[in-house]
A = this chain, B = another copy of it.
Amino acid sequence: MNEQHHLNVIENTNRKQRVAEDQLAFGKEFTDHMFVMDYSTEKGWHHPRITPYEPITLDPAAMIFHYGQTVFEGLKAYRTEDDRILLFRPEKNFQRMNRSSERLSIPLLDEKLVLTYLEELLRIEKEWVPKTAGYSLYIRPFIIATEPNLSLAPSNTYQFYIILSPVGSYYREGIHPVKIFVEEEFTRAVRGGTGMAKTAGNYSAAYIAQQRATDKGYSQVLWLDGVEKKYIEEVGSMNVFFKIGEEVVTPLLNGSILEGITRLSIIELLKDWNVPVVERRVSIEEIFQAHKEGIVEEVFGTGTAAVVSPVGELTWNDEQMIINNGHTGKLSKKLYETLTAIQTGKQQDPYGWTVEIKE
């Protein structure tokens, strides 16, 4: 590790008043410190540091404000019952961040080195990892283009940040199925676009559809492919699975779907359990047809926030389908329980997925 990668720590001597754990909302409280690193074309990534959590100051012409050159990640740190702190497959997040950066013409990070910086930040902030069951410390790494220049070209300077937010349980009243609206008008992503990247523009572009679905009483939208408006892509910002008869089906990674780490883990779990699982194109028509035949047993979304989110109802134009009588399916429940048990150390991790933050 050369000089420019030496990690500096500037301690925050002015610690925050903590919000009671049962008052935590998602992504509104942040810890005392954050991680920052700079990039310039001359020096590459340099000057990694842990500093007090503090405002970012940028020129009004900084490229992030104009052309959206930015990527982010989302993962969680969990506290075990015996007070250890675990991450879940964090290397996958930094690998995906680099794939996102490639699409957005952002310089790549050293994935392994960045993980050691995150670990150091978590050692400093370990008291912030909630103790209540179901709670966790949400980790948000992100890169922003900082060059003050209105030219349409990749920035010559960037900053990489990691901020931490203690968060409550996604399921305060226990895991429960949601109602989903199949979106026909708006498109989340398309072949050749940025759907496979975790980049800002994909998310605000989806608000309008989400708002209309909420107004109609649905909790999320199901996105169809941008080309034919026929094939299923994702649910809200989750990947999606269907249990049809004895088989589990999920849309294949086609370039417009985000490669979820929960998705990957679920595929691996199912294979380990000898449950047939296939990644392929799935049309919305096929699902409604299978439902008419009575073989759609379970539908669920997957992602870091909810882990597994069962779908109780799907509405597509005038057609409505109720899944498993609106109850959480057996397999959905088992996947949720297994994954959360591994993530929180309640169950032994035979897959080597968890990474412990050691002193």
A193/B187 in contact, CB under 8 A? yes
Indicate the member of A65, A104, A163, A228 with the most B CB atoms within 10 Å: A65
B185/A65 in contact, CB under 8 A? no
A192 located at the interface, meaning its Cβ lies under 8 Å from any Cβ of chain B in the complex: yes
CA gap between A64 and B66 in the complex, in Å:
10
Contacts of A171 in B (CB 8 A): none
Task: Flag A216-233 by CB within 8 Å of B: 1 or 0 each.
Answer: 000000000011110000
Q: Which residue of B lies closest to A143 (CB)?
A: B65
A152 located at the interface, meaning its Cβ lies under 8 Å from any Cβ of chain B in the complex: yes
A2 located at the interface, meaning its Cβ lies under 8 Å from any Cβ of chain B in the complex: no
CA gap between A28 and B211 in the complex, in Å:
38
CA gap between A66 and B208 in the complex, in Å:
17
A27/B150 in contact, CB under 8 A? yes
A186/B192 in contact, CB under 8 A? yes
Q: Which of B34, B200, B228 contacts A65 (CB 8 A)?
A: B200
B211/A105 in contact, CB under 8 A? yes
Interface residues of A in 26-83 (CB under 8 A from B): 26-28, 30, 34, 53-70, 72
A288 located at the interface, meaning its Cβ lies under 8 Å from any Cβ of chain B in the complex: no
A19 located at the interface, meaning its Cβ lies under 8 Å from any Cβ of chain B in the complex: no
Contacts of A203 in B (CB 8 A): 66-68, 152
Contacts of A202 in B (CB 8 A): 68, 201
A105/B207 in contact, CB under 8 A? yes
Contacts of A343 in B (CB 8 A): none
A residues whose Cβ falls under 8 Å from a Cβ of B: 25-28, 30, 34, 53-70, 72, 103-105, 138, 140, 142, 144-145, 148-154, 161, 163, 165, 185-187, 190-194, 199-208, 210-211, 226-229, 236-237
